[in-house]
Amino acid sequence: MKCALIGLGEVGQIYAAALLDAGHEIIGYDPFITTAPPGAVLAQSAAEAAREADMVLVLTGAGAAPKVAEECLPVMKPGAGYADLTSSSPKTMEELGSTAGEANFIDVAILGPVIAQGAKTPLMASGRGAQDFAALLHSVGASVQIVDGGPGSAMAHKLLRSVFTKGLASVVIEAVRAGAAAGLEPWIREEISKTLAGDGQATIDRFLTGTAKHAVRRAAEMRSTGGYLEDLGVPHEMADASASAMERMAIDNRMTAG
């Protein structure tokens, strides 16, 4: 397949090398890079790279996504794929997809660190042409989950997942650092492990029902927790955020009851 890669930074170089090794033809463009990856052709503009491509992979920062789409989409062949792998918001993906014309706009969410996992990093895709994109990335060993919905759906799935995964990571880091400062790191690690290893659905249900029901008491407890972490010299953004969230739940409960 003839692929255009827009953005030849570290991630772009990884995908370029993998696609070339899989036998695909690569033409790339990056305004800040003047040397093509070995085996690839370097275009003079994004539009030039996209014009004859069967699949365009946009690997720029999210801020450049609208400009790249504006330049590439109008010149692409009918039925060609335009895969936006930036971290643009679901709304932006939807808006860009509406301008695709006869090209197939594919919203792609990257579900892991490409720098660490390479071109085999799991992906999620939505939009017309997602199957073609998945076939291309399968050729380099990547797992691509296709989700229902148009452009924006894949990124919506990713960001909803990030509420949990990034939030959980921040909470665990704060708890372990506090445990270390208190001389109780092995104990808090064991407590975290037991919670994560339990019945996931039951834990979710317990959080959903118990937190709102006991919001007033738990908010006060988390304010005390923040004070304790302050005494330990440990940052406590997550404890403070939890207290604020529970205080808001308590207000919501009063308004609902009233």
pLDDT tens-digit series, residues 28-52: 999 998 888 889 999 999 999 999 9
Listed in order, the ranges of the chain carrying CATH 3.40.50.720 are 2-149
Per-residue pLDDT tens digits for 109-159? 999 999 999 999 999 999 999 999 999 999 999 999 999 999 999 999 999
- Asked whether residue 255 carries a pLDDT value surpassing 90, the answer given is no
- Give the sign of the dihedral formed by CA 6, CA 9, CA 15, CA 17: positive
Residue whose entry in the numeric block shows the structure tokens 């197939």: 104
CB neighbours (10 Å) of residue 252? 12
Please report the pLDDT score of residue 258 as a whole number.
63
* 8 A C-beta contact, residue 81 and residue 102: no
| Three-state secondary structure string covering 140-173 | CCCCEEECCCCCCHHHHHHHHHHHHHHHHHHHHH
Asked if pLDDT for residue 257 goes beyond 80, the answer is: no
3 state SS of 29: strand
Q: Which CATH code fits 2-149?
A: 3.40.50.720
Convert the pLDDT of each residue in 56-104 to its tens digit.
999 999 999 999 999 999 999 999 999 999 999 999 999 999 999 999 9
Is 213 one of the catalytic residues? no
Q: Tell me 127's DSSP state.
A: S
Best CA proximity match to 237, nearest among 248, 225, 249, 246: 225
Task: List, as own/partner pairs, every contact residues 46-49 make where C-beta atoms lie below 8 angstroms and the sequence separation is at least 24, other chains included.
Answer: 46/6, 46/71, 46/72, 47/71, 47/72, 47/75, 49/4, 49/5, 49/6
Q: Which is catalytic among the residues 2, 77, 120, 158?
A: 158
Cα dihedral value 89, 93, 96, 98, nearest 10: -130
For the four alpha carbons of 183, 222, 220 and 227, in that order, the dihedral sign comes to: positive
Architecture in CATH for domain 158-257: Orthogonal Bundle (1.10)
Q: Are 174 and 238 in contact (CB under 8 A)?
A: yes
Location of each CATH 1.10.1040 domain in the chain: 158-257
- Answer yes or no: are the C-beta atoms of 49 and 43 closer than 8 Å: yes
In tens, the pLDDT along 162-193 reads 999 999 999 999 999 999 999 999 999 999 99
